[in-house]
Amino acid sequence: MHAILVIFKKDVRRLWWQIAITLALLAALGHQDSWRADAIPDSLEGWLNLLVPLAWACLIAQVVHEETLVGDREFWMTRPYRWPSLLAAKALFLVLFIHLPLFTADFAIIAARGLSPAAAIPHLLRKQLLLAGGLTVPAVALAAIVRNLMQFVFVAVLAPVMVMFCASSIRAPWLSVDEVRSGSTVLVLGVATVAVVFLQYRWRRSRLARTMAVAGGLLAGVLYAFVPPGYTYVVKAAASPARLPISLQIPPEPIHFNRNGGPDAVGVYLSLTASGIPSNSLYRSQSLSVEVQGSNGAHFQTRPTAVYQPWAKIEFGAGANLIADAGPGPYSYSGLSMTFSRSAFARIRDSRATVSGSLAVQFYQLGQAVRVPVGGSRNVPHMGRCSSMVQEWRYSEALLKVLCESAGGDGIYARVELASPGGEANLAYGTRRPFGNFSPDIAGPRLTWLSPVDRWQTSFQITDNPSNAPGSQWLIPRSALPNLEIVITPELITGYQIVDYRFPDLDLKDYVVKPLLR
């Protein structure tokens, strides 16, 4: 224990001004986060979300390089240092000057936003584990296999740039980062870097440690790029199954729609009906895969992974969707929509085709509805603290913004409506909105990965000149705001199910979408 404290005090004495800089940056970030009243941060907070991890990484490298592990001519090797004491001293430094300050800042931010810090402790502990697996331990591992800070900065900057380049070059930009891909990436990266740190501090085998670090980084990158996004739903369906006998069929009299399409594309639409789902169920769906096999050998399928080639011609795209509430229009019915290039459709149009695939169905139920006065705030179960305000907007007269904040909340699914006080929801304005459809026009990064508060928001457009003209009923007259309340109804997830389907012996010419006449 004495050796640990001696090494720790020496590191603090030599790196006090670097510690002060990281604490100042973290304090500035905490101040910005505490006063933010929008789901999207301003440019200063966005840049701080980049600078703080970078400062932490440089601090980690410097404290590790106080006793460099690469080479055999460093002065500290002549001292009576045992590797467990050395490693423990570095770990104590990181806990006291990175993890503990962040935990304290998160605690203060949550309290400043009117949330319960005590209830958020499990969420904050999970965040600490993610920080360790995604930044602290990898930075220690990298610093342990390079000779100096210059080499560390070069690799630490080069690696993210390459990741961003590959992500923008081979990943489809419309695919969001799902929990399985991001979680598996952090897990593999954390395990690999822990092994590197142990190997270097125990035996100082730099070549082997570097090989393990490169292999772990490549494996994490492969998982991030190639694991299908649909695997998230497979895991969720295994953890919280719905267990319903769901099957999909094509009705005897399919629904046909006219719509505009590209001059070189052929649209095919199969209307679907679902059996085995209770009539009062609420659900949403996500298409996972679609495959078309022709009797003449022609074969098409959606890409099963997130990787794509932006320079390649897309011959086939498809997606299936189940809608709980049918209405007018092609996107209000359950159906399977496919788009072929004209050359691709020519290869299959004269043969019988088998269409198969799978989709994920997410079932939910409505929670307790809470009314929030315009300009006020309320605690909404499963959504956190919800508030609203009228905000002037450069692209319209004004917006009524609804913001919900939570420390480890259930999610962003909720129904947001406007209603008269004590009355039913007023749908005259078309006011049912999902969270996440509004973001301010802000230059700079919009990163919030260090924030302990999850924020979701939506908005309604306000007008000073109400009109009864068709298409303007969704605008909210400013004069009506004092007589309205915001009704927020959480949508609580009850289960997931993967539904497979197969429709053999189809003549796709019978389901071609006709172009819309102008």
Complete DSSP assignment for 269-285: EEE-EEESS-TT-EEEE
∠ Cα 494 495 498 (to 5°): 155
Q: Quick count: other Cβ atoms within 10 Å of Cβ 365?
A: 12
Contact present, 452 and 388 (Cβ < 8 Å): no
Give the three-state DSSP class for 230: coil
**How do residues 99-153 score in pLDDT, each as one tens digit?**
999 999 999 999 999 999 999 999 999 999 989 998 999 999 999 999 898 999 8
Could you give the C-alpha distances from 400 to 266, 396, 419, 457, in angstroms and in order? Answer: 41, 11, 14, 10
Beta strands 476-477 and 454-463, pairing class:
parallel
- pLDDT (average), residues 485-502: 92
Contact present, 224 and 185 (Cβ < 8 Å): yes
Phi, psi of 31 (to 5 degrees): -65, -45
Q: Does residue 436 register a pLDDT over 70?
A: no
Task: Pick left, alpha or beta for residue 93 (phi over 0 → left; psi -120 to 50 → alpha; otherwise beta).
Answer: alpha
Instruction: Please tell me the distance from the alpha carbon of residue 81 to that of residue 78, in angstroms, as a whole number.
Output: 8
Q: What is the pLDDT of residue 328?
A: 42
- Across 19-28, 77-86, 281-290, which has the greatest mean pLDDT? 19-28
Q: What is the pLDDT of residue 351?
A: 93
Q: Does residue 198 register a pLDDT over 60?
A: yes
Q: Quick count: other Cβ atoms within 10 Å of Cβ 435?
A: 21
Q: What is the pLDDT of residue 517?
A: 47
Q: What is the pLDDT of residue 76?
A: 65
Please report the sign of the dihedral spanned by the C-alpha atoms of residue 54, residue 56, residue 57, residue 63.
Answer: positive
Instruction: Please tell me the distance from the alpha carbon of residue 76 to that of residue 85, in angstroms, as a whole number.
Output: 13
Instruction: Please tell me the distance from the alpha carbon of residue 349 to that of residue 271, in angstroms, as a whole number.
Output: 19
Could you give the C-alpha distances from 143 to 94, 96, 199, 313, in angstroms and in order? Answer: 14, 19, 13, 43
pTM for the structure as a whole: 0.84
Q: What is the pLDDT of residue 258?
A: 52
- Looking at per-residue pLDDT, the higher value among 514 and 386 belongs to 386
Q: What is the pLDDT of residue 331?
A: 46
Number of H helices and E strands in the chain, helices first, is: 12, 18
Instruction: Please tell me the distance from the alpha carbon of residue 363 to that of residue 492, in angstroms, as a whole number.
Output: 8
- Across 175-184, 224-233, 373-382, which has the greatest mean pLDDT? 373-382
Weakest mean pLDDT among 21-35, 130-144, 303-317: 303-317
Q: Does residue 298 register a pLDDT over 60?
A: yes
**How do residues 217-271 score in pLDDT, each as one tens digit?**
888 877 877 777 678 888 889 989 999 999 999 987 766 555 545 667 888 989 8
Q: How confident is the model at residue 170 (pLDDT cuts 50, 70, 90)?
A: very low
